[in-house]
Each structure stands twice: as structure tokens, then as C-alpha cells.
Amino acid sequence: MSILDNRPALKAEIDKVAEVAGYLWQKGWAERNGGNITINITEFVDDQMLAMPAISEPRPIGKVLPSLKGCWFYCKGTQKRMRDLARDPMANGSVIRILPDCANYEIVADVPVIPTSELPSHLAVHDYLLAKGSPYRASIHTHPIELVALTHSRKWMEKDVASRMLWSMIPETKAFCPRGLGMVPYMMPSSVELADATIRVIDGDYDVVMWEKHGVFAVDTNIIDAFDQVDVLNKAAQIYISARSMGYEPDGMTDAQMQRLSYVFGLPK
């Protein structure tokens, strides 16, 4: 029996995770066990779920995250492949709840799949979002090829240089990713330092953060929208790289054209 049985709203959210996991694999953004997805499912927790016993011992998060007290999450499992998660999300991920000390969690369902090694980064961001009063409940980390390629040039790691170029490639990029792409210099994957740096960049008014030579971390209200932001940004990078491979530097939209777009659509930047 699954925790999803007779819980259609919760199942619908997990089905979205499976759908996105399939997209990541199809796009080549999730080699082997690469990438992670974490969603806050607290709003779907009912009394029966609250009474469920844990199926694991308490495990440390690595940080004390006070805003996560009583929260529940679905997390991709460590060493699990996105292509397998797409097929069977509850065998390749797990539902966890944060313990009252806000420093540990336990697995509740369906099987004791240990969450991603980057769980501290994900949960630290969720803690920040809740403390801020943000409606964002989903986070995704993936390896979009063209966006990662940009970070191997110092030019694109400068603040908002990549954002302006990506916005200029096609109007939809600015319309659908109006906050642009924040940049985090290379740090050890799964580290607390990387989590803290990511939060600082998100706090600087970004929804999508680039981890240099590693991948993208994005947050949004649900996992589909978080994926869409990364997809749109990477399409712009593909357009740029395609133009360069044809032997020329693309003109891109002018500053005046982009300012007009922001004005007409009421975009934040």
C-alpha cells in the first residue's frame, strides 16, 4: 500500500515530479543519478498521515532549520536515476517529515529510500522561502548542457551578464524568466557553503541560480513551473550557441526593445 492511495491531490503532485523527471532524462540533463527534486507537501498532509510511524531512524539534516518545523517533503533518493523516478517515483524517492528539533528528519513512506545527498541545500532553501513568506514550494537541481557550458567562461559568471544575453535571444525568455539567472561561483557539491551561497543569490531576487561548472538550482510554486524556467533559459542558451557555431555573434534584442517588453508585460526587471 502506498501513501498516495486515496490521496488524489498528493498523488497529483508526485505525478508532476515523475513527469519532470522524465523530461530531465529525455533532454540529457540527468545523466546517471544526476540532479535532484524536492517539494514541500505539507499542505497535503492529513490526520492519518500525521499518525503514521516512521520507517527509518532519525537522520541529521546538518543544519537547524526552524521554519521547517512540522513540514513534510517528497525527495528524490540518493543514487537514484531520474529515468527510474519517472517510472516509479515512490521506489526512487521518499516522503520525509522534519522532527520538532528542526535538525533531523525521518522517512515516513513508502520505502526507506535515503534522500539526495544535496538535501541540506534543498531544505535550507525551503527554510528560507518559508521564513520569507514565499509561495514557492518546489526546488529542482539539474544539469542543462548549454547553461553549464556558459559557466566555463568567466565572462558569463559576472552579475547579470548572462541574464541580459539570454533575455536578448528571444522575447519569451524575459517574459517567462523575468528575474534572470543568478550566479554562484564553484563550491563543493552538497556542502553547507553551497546552500548558503544559493540562498544569498535567491535573496538577491532570483528564482534560478547557476552553480558554476555544475548545474542549475531553481525554485517556484510547483515543480512544473520550476522546470519551465530552466527550460526557457536553456533554450536561449541554445540559440546563442547555435548562432556562434554558425560563425557569428548574434545581435540579440536591444536594450530599448527589452525595456519596452518589461513595461508592456509589467516585468520586475
* Residue ranges of domains in the chain: 1-135, 144-269
pLDDT at 269: 84
Instruction: Say whether 118 is catalytic.
Output: yes
- Structure confidence at residue 239 as a pLDDT band (50, 70, 90): very high
Q: Which CATH architecture has domain 1-135?
A: 3-Layer(aba) Sandwich (3.40)
Which has the closest alpha carbon to 23: 40, 35, 13, 5? 35
pLDDT at 204: 83
- Residues 38-70: pLDDT tens digits? 999 999 999 999 999 999 999 999 889 999 999
pLDDT at 142: 97
Question: Cα Rg for the chain, rounded, in angstroms?
Answer: 19
If you average pLDDT over every residue of the chain, what do you get?
Answer: 96
| Assigned superfamily of 144-269 | Class II aldolase/adducin N-terminal domain (3.40.225.10)
- Structure confidence at residue 191 as a pLDDT band (50, 70, 90): confident
d(CA 5, CA 84): 20
Question: Of all helices (H) and strands (E), which one includes residue 109?
Answer: strand 104-109
Choosing from 19, 118, 172, 193, which is the catalytic residue? 118
* Average pLDDT over every residue of 154-183: 96
- What DSSP character marks residue 77? B
